[in-house]
Structure 1
Amino acid sequence: MSNSLAAPVPPNPYLVLGAAIVLPASGHVILGVPVRGLQFLFFMVILAWVTAKIAPPDASFVGRHAGGFLIYALSILDAYRIGRIRTAKWVHNAQRANDGAQSGIETHT
C-alpha cells in the first residue's frame, strides 16, 4: 500500500478546540465543515437576540444573551468532538494498515 492512498492527518483536536474557543465557527472551518459552523453562528445570533428581548432589564450582559452563549458552548463541544472522532478513526485505520503490512511482510519472507 502506498502513502498516496493513506488518509491525510486530521487537525489536532486541541488546535480545533482552541480555535473554537477564540473565534466561533473557526473550529468547524479548520475541520472542513464551514456550513456547520455558520449554522451554529446563525442560531447563536438568533438566540442571543431572543433572550435579549425577553430578559429583564436589570440582567447582566451574559444573562441577557444566555441563549447565544449556550449555542457558543455547544459549538465548542461539537467542534472538539468531531476533531477527536476524526483523529481516533485516523489512528485506528493507521494501526490496522500497519498491522496488515506487517503480517503481509511476515508471510512472504
Structure 2
Amino acid sequence: MSDETATPAPANPYLVLGAAIVLPASGHVMLGVPARGLQFLFFMVILGWITAKLAPADASFIGRHAGGFLIYAFSILDAYRIARIRHAIWVHKARPDGDSAKGNAPSNM
C-alpha cells in the first residue's frame, strides 16, 4: 500500500546546479519557477549592457560585462539554494520518525 501523503521527489540539487551553470535560467525552469529565471536573465542583460557602456575600452570581455556575470553567479546560487531547501524539506517529511511529526516539545509537567 502506498502512502497518499507522499510527495514526489524534488529535482536533484546537483542536477539543477549543473543546468544553471550550463544555461542561465534553466535551473529555475527545472524548479518550476520560470518567471524568476526570466527576471535573472533580464537583469543579466541590463547590467551587462550598462557595464559595457561604462567600462574602459581596454577592459577584458569579462570586465566589460561584469554586471551581467555578477547576476549570472547570483542566479546559479539562487537556483541551487532553492533546490537544496526543497530537497531538505522533502527528506525531512519523508522520515517516518521525524521529531516535528511527533510533536516532541518539552512539557511542563
TM-score by length of 2: 0.86
Q: CA deviation at 1:7?
A: 1.2
Q: Aligned AA for 2:33?
A: V
TM-score by length of 1: 0.86
1:1-109 matches, cutoff 5 A:
2-95=2-95, 98-99=96-97
- Where does residue 104 of structure 1 map in the other structure? none
1:37-74 residue CA offsets vs partner (Å, 9 max, x unmatched) = 00000000000000000000000000000000000000
Q: Distance in 2 between matches of 1:3 and 1:45?
A: 46
Q: Aligned AA for 2:90?
A: W
| Secondary structure of residue in 1 paired with 2:97 | helix
Q: Distance in 2 between matches of 1:74 and 1:91?
A: 26
| Secondary structure of residue in 2 paired with 1:8 | coil
Q: Distance in 1 between matches of 2:12 and 2:23?
A: 17
Q: Distance in 2 between matches of 1:65 and 1:3?
A: 51
Q: CA deviation at 1:4?
A: 3.6
Q: CA deviation at 1:91?
A: 0.2
Give % identity.
Answer: 80
Q: Distance in 2 between matches of 1:65 and 1:88?
A: 35
CA RMSD of aligned residues (A): 1.4
- Larger proportion of helix: 1
Q: Distance in 2 between matches of 1:3 and 1:69?
A: 45
Any unmatched runs of 5+ in structure 2?
Answer: 99-109
Q: Distance in 1 between matches of 2:17 and 2:93?
A: 23
Q: Distance in 1 between matches of 2:31 and 2:3?
A: 22
